[in-house]
Chain A
Amino acid sequence: MSWSRFFRRKQWDTERAQELSAYLETETADNIQRGMSPEEAKRVAHLKLGNVARIREEIYKMNSLGFLETTLQDIRYALRGFRRAPAFALTVILAIALGIGATTGVFSVVDRILFRSLPYRHADQLVTFGYVAPIEPNEFLTSPDFAEWGNAHGAFSSTASFNFVRDCDITQAPAARLQCAHVEWTFLPTFGIQPLLGRNFTREEDSPAGSAGPSGPDWAGGGKVALLSYGLWKSRFGADQHIVGKTISLDDQQTTIIGVLPRDFELPTLGEADMLVPEAFPATAFVHSINRPTAILRAFARLAPGVTIAQAKAALQPAFPESLKWVPPGFRNEVSLSVRTLRDRQIEDARLASWVLFGAVLAVLLIACANVANLLLARSTARQREFAIRAALGAAPARLLLQTLTESVALALAGGALGCGFAYALIKIFVAISPHGIVHLSDATLDLRVLAFTLLVSVISGLAFGFASAQRHASNDALYGRASFGFSRAFFRRALVSAQIAISFVLLVGAGLLIRSLDNLERVPLGMDTSGVITATIALNPRLYTDMSRRQHFFDAIEQRLRQLPGVSAFALTDSAPLLPGGSAASIYANIEVSGRPRTPQGTGGMVGYSTVTPEFFSALGIPIVNGHAFTEADRSPNANVAILNAVLAKRLFPNGDAVGKQVRFGPDGAWCTIVGVAGGVKYVQNNGFISTAESEYYLPLHHSQSFVDSEQKIILRTSLGPAAVASWMRSTVGSLDPTVPVTVDSMSERMSQLEARPRFNAALLGIFAALGILLAALGTYGVLAFLVVQRTREIGVRMALGAHPYHVQKMILAQGAMLALAGLVFGVAGAFALTRLMKSLLFGVTPADPAIFVGVAVFLLLVALAACYLPARRAMRVDPLVALRYE
């Protein structure tokens, strides 16, 4: 059968009709010749030819595409059916739209994290390798190790080192502070990235001879060539097609632009970079030496074809003990070898949250499908008679099933289309409330891939609830108007309701646990008082302020002026503070020495952070001094060597609590400091928003003259003024000293709520899904019980006629509902017990099997189920026995 015929079948039909009437005319004429009367001749001709309509129909069918034809017919029929029962169709479509919309929305977010391949060629072959240690969970490596390990005896087809993203400045008008990523010349080929314009740099350009050579102790080299990021090329160079070969002044060096990176370029570390420049290590950087510090690198590699992660790790293992010899003794026990896929490195902490969200939303979809299956079952029961008649008229069972499936898939597709709108809105909400820490969230869109997913989910769920609701036995009884309800169908419907309640239970417990965690987080005392604290970060350009005394003068002047600000009850200057980005300087615990006590280095003991602060630091942040006293202005004179330990470090070094007055030094060549006080420990907020216990820390006074002054200092104000007022005052003050210095003003409580964004995001989303789930489950329960009441109307009538009290009838129905709910709860508890354990690392201060939450959710769900049963039960109570007995 050809398509052209299919579309021309109307015309064909006309031609056949002509042909058939030609036959009739000829035959009639022949008959008249044989001596028949004209009427008789015509009658006999018709008899001879047979049923004209049937012949035409037969030919018409031959011209049609059987499947398509019946499907179109089914769809038309389905649409007509929906038009007759718009409320039903609308309910079903809305339920599906909610389920599919939520699923699509969440899929578009987690797809980037869990499923979509990274923007590199054969990204699944890319790995990161090196050491990991408690102080640095991401792989790192020294430059000599990187050179010695090579390609791991062929396990890697290529390797590339990455020497971090560093500040760099365009030192020609208009000057700008940029971010330069320092990479090996093999970087782009390893990741399979082709520059949009120009070329990658060569091995020669990635050597000190080809570039300016290292300009600092940490080899922050930067060569004479650079590749621009797409963004910088557009914004600064106006997407100049002839940019390749032009030179710019980068950190006072003439640098040639040799290429432009593609638009979707992304650093494997997910950092931001405006330019790619060569590492340009000198040859000595690749040789181990005790006299010279070596560079710390990130190492990436592409696995050779067919090589697994485990094989690559095994290939590196022989070189590992040799390299370990160069690791400082204290570190050796803590360092281990690691090879991970790039994806694992990138999405580490987003993965679990993503799976939880995706699982939750699939659960909602499942509940929605169960609901729709139930609605369709109710409808198909009402249509039993119609189906029986069709079966009696010769419709094959397969044909009837196809009809049912066509209807359900049509409903699902309509729901899916509406769901796309819902998903669009949901993504907007996600992005609006999203914390910055969730990778790729802002990129989430409804693209073709996501729409394809939606289509797939729609069709699958349509088929699922279509099969679930398919009329299995079109019984002949239905023809006589007797509705017959097989035991299995009633059981199936109740099982669906119980399943909905079970899934809702799991969702609610999950949401409950996350909300409880959030609540716990907000209740944790941080060990400081963030209300009314405003901070300002002032960053000098280290290239312009190279002289330490200039820095010192600048900050002294700032301190002088800002101290005068009215409404400020405490003022402090510090190089680091809790909750602020940038972290703090740190020394190794094992290097801390107490006077009169031998050092016993056993491991590193981890890192101990320290801050250099002015005396009012503690009162500005509300950190209590539990022993001794805070710094005084006198402690800021250059020859006053004093320190304040926090309670954690004090307890560690001086378990007897006699820290004040003792002498310590924080490094083998440091000065001995007298401990003047012990401050309360401040808890830290981790990247995932959780609050960790207070870590060991100490404080040093900010001297009036120091050998090193950090170019970035933080100002902490305890004030009754709003952040906006402080910001303008601060900017004008700083601006009067140097108008080019950027100032970032934050309120500490805002900062705190930013840090809590991630747990809040998870809790909010799971809460929304749980609410959706329970709403759908309640509707499902109501629907089934209402149906059961209608079904048992006659029985109830008999009972009441025999003297049953309406109250008992009501109780009977409620009990039936309660049974459904209890069955659901049993499975729900089992399911929740198994599943919530998996989200353990998302929880804070609550165990996955928290009894209070389990019991609370169970009671709540039971109440919801009973409420859903209440209306049907009341209707049952009001059954009029006379009417009921005449029912049917």
Chain B
Amino acid sequence: MPKRGTQPLHGEVLQGTLDLLILQTLILGPAHGHTIAHVIERRSEDVLQVEHGSLYPALHRLEDRGWIASFWGTSENNRKARYYRLTPLGRKQLARQTGRWDQLVHAINQVLGRARKPATE
């Protein structure tokens, strides 16, 4: 759950990051929106404070680009749910973006000085 007072990240960075996180999540296997949201929340250790809702436009966008595909299935507790899986194109994209992301992180670290720890509250 997003904590009050945290400034949500805006714009390109958030979008790019979110895309990357979704693709990363789906590498483990197909999942529906609820699962993806919780996995991302856990993984990002609350750094990326996003409303789960913003996940859906991102899913739509990725599907639109052909990086993920969707199908209707049944969830663990027997509910109808929309599942997403990684396409081969998405897999390639993930590899490329991870590379770019690493470069970016590296560059930022250099600028800020290595000593800085990730910002927490």
- CB-contacts of B32-68 with A (<8 A): 32-34, 37, 51-54, 56-57, 60-61, 64
CB distance from B49 to the nearest CB of A (A): 11
> CB-defined interface of B89-112 with A at 8 Å, one 1/0 digit per residue?
000000000000000000000000
CB distance from A704 to the nearest CB of B (A): 102
- Assess whether B18 is interfacial by the CB under 8 Å rule: no
Q: Are A59 and B60 in contact (CB under 8 A)?
A: yes
- Assess whether A425 is interfacial by the CB under 8 Å rule: no
For B64, the chain A residues whose CB sits under 8 A away are 1, 5, 62
User: Bound state CA distance, A1 and B64, in angstroms?
Assistant: 7
Q: Are A26 and B53 in contact (CB under 8 A)?
A: no
CB distance from A57 to the nearest CB of B (A): 9
Contact of A55 among B2, B37, B54 (CB under 8 A): B54
Q: Closest residue of chain B to A46, judged by CB?
A: B53
- Assess whether B79 is interfacial by the CB under 8 Å rule: yes
Q: Are B53 and A20 in contact (CB under 8 A)?
A: yes
- Assess whether A123 is interfacial by the CB under 8 Å rule: no
CB distance from B78 to the nearest CB of A (A): 11
CB distance from A363 to the nearest CB of B (A): 53
Q: Are A58 and B79 in contact (CB under 8 A)?
A: no
Contact of B61 among A20, A44, A51, A62 (CB under 8 A): A62
Given A22-B32, A27-B34, are A55 and B82 neighbors across the interface (CB < 8 Å)?
Answer: no
CB distance from A46 to the nearest CB of B (A): 10
- Assess whether A124 is interfacial by the CB under 8 Å rule: no
- Assess whether B6 is interfacial by the CB under 8 Å rule: no
CB distance from B33 to the nearest CB of A (A): 5
For A433, the chain B residues whose CB sits under 8 A away are none
Contact of A58 among B52, B57, B81 (CB under 8 A): B57
User: Bound state CA distance, A197 and B80, in angstroms?
Assistant: 72
Q: Closest residue of chain B to A16, judged by CB?
A: B56
Q: Are A26 and B1 in contact (CB under 8 A)?
A: no
Q: Are B77 and A29 in contact (CB under 8 A)?
A: yes
Contact of B60 among A18, A26, A49, A62 (CB under 8 A): A62
CB distance from A20 to the nearest CB of B (A): 7
Q: Closest residue of chain B to A5, judged by CB?
A: B64
CB distance from B54 to the nearest CB of A (A): 7
User: Bound state CA distance, A1 and B82, in angstroms?
Assistant: 21
User: Bound state CA distance, A55 and B56, in angstroms?
Assistant: 7
User: Bound state CA distance, A48 and B40, in angstroms?
Assistant: 13
Q: Are B53 and A52 in contact (CB under 8 A)?
A: yes
Q: Are B52 and A50 in contact (CB under 8 A)?
A: yes
User: Bound state CA distance, A613 and B64, in angstroms?
Assistant: 94
- Assess whether A87 is interfacial by the CB under 8 Å rule: no
User: Bound state CA distance, A16 and B61, in angstroms?
Assistant: 13
Looking at B2, B32, B34, B75, which has the most chain A CB atoms within 10 Å of its CB? B34
For A62, the chain B residues whose CB sits under 8 A away are 57, 60-61, 64
- CB-contacts of A37-62 with B (<8 A): 44, 47-52, 54-55, 58-59, 62
User: Bound state CA distance, A20 and B32, in angstroms?
Assistant: 11
Q: Are A51 and B53 in contact (CB under 8 A)?
A: yes
Q: Closest residue of chain B to A26, judged by CB?
A: B34
For B37, the chain A residues whose CB sits under 8 A away are 23
For A251, the chain B residues whose CB sits under 8 A away are none
For B80, the chain A residues whose CB sits under 8 A away are 18, 22
- CB-contacts of A305-337 with B (<8 A): none
Q: Are B53 and A47 in contact (CB under 8 A)?
A: no
For A18, the chain B residues whose CB sits under 8 A away are 80, 82
User: Bound state CA distance, A210 and B75, in angstroms?
Assistant: 96
User: Bound state CA distance, A16 and B33, in angstroms?
Assistant: 11
CB distance from A548 to the nearest CB of B (A): 95
> CB-defined interface of A1-37 with B at 8 Å, one 1/0 digit per residue?
1000100000000011011101101110100000000
Contact of A59 among B32, B33, B57, B75 (CB under 8 A): B57
Contact of B1 among A20, A48, A52 (CB under 8 A): A48
User: Bound state CA distance, A591 and B59, in angstroms?
Assistant: 101
User: Bound state CA distance, A876 and B80, in angstroms?
Assistant: 74
User: Bound state CA distance, A20 and B34, in angstroms?
Assistant: 9
CB distance from B34 to the nearest CB of A (A): 4
Given A47-B1, A62-B60, are A19 and B53 neighbors across the interface (CB < 8 Å)?
Answer: no
User: Bound state CA distance, A750 and B50, in angstroms?
Assistant: 91
For A5, the chain B residues whose CB sits under 8 A away are 64
For B54, the chain A residues whose CB sits under 8 A away are 50, 55
Q: Are B77 and A26 in contact (CB under 8 A)?
A: yes
User: Bound state CA distance, A51 and B54, in angstroms?
Assistant: 9
CB distance from B97 to the nearest CB of A (A): 20
User: Bound state CA distance, A459 and B84, in angstroms?
Assistant: 47
Q: Are B79 and A50 in contact (CB under 8 A)?
A: no
Q: Closest residue of chain A to B41, judged by CB?
A: A48
Q: Closest residue of chain A to B56, judged by CB?
A: A55
User: Bound state CA distance, A369 and B52, in angstroms?
Assistant: 54
CB distance from B18 to the nearest CB of A (A): 13
User: Bound state CA distance, A20 and B79, in angstroms?
Assistant: 13
Looking at B1, B32, B51, B79, which has the most chain A CB atoms within 10 Å of its CB? B51
Q: Are A20 and B56 in contact (CB under 8 A)?
A: yes
For A1, the chain B residues whose CB sits under 8 A away are 64
Q: Are B77 and A55 in contact (CB under 8 A)?
A: no
Extra inter-chain contacts (7) besides given A26-B79, A55-B56, CB under 8 Å: A22-B79, A22-B81, A27-B52, A48-B1, A50-B53, A50-B54, A52-B53
List 7 A-B pairs, minimum CB-CB distance, nearest first: A50-B53, A50-B51, A26-B34, A58-B57, A55-B53, A49-B53, A19-B82
Point out residues on B near A: beta carbons under 8 Å: 1-2, 32-34, 37, 51-54, 56-57, 60-61, 64, 75, 77, 79-82
Sample (16) of A-B pairs whose CB atoms are under 8 Å apart: A16-B56, A20-B56, A22-B34, A22-B75, A22-B80, A23-B34, A23-B37, A26-B77, A27-B34, A27-B52, A29-B77, A48-B2, A49-B51, A51-B53, A62-B61, A62-B64
Point out residues on A near B: beta carbons under 8 Å: 1, 5, 15-16, 18-20, 22-23, 25-27, 29, 44, 47-52, 54-55, 58-59, 62
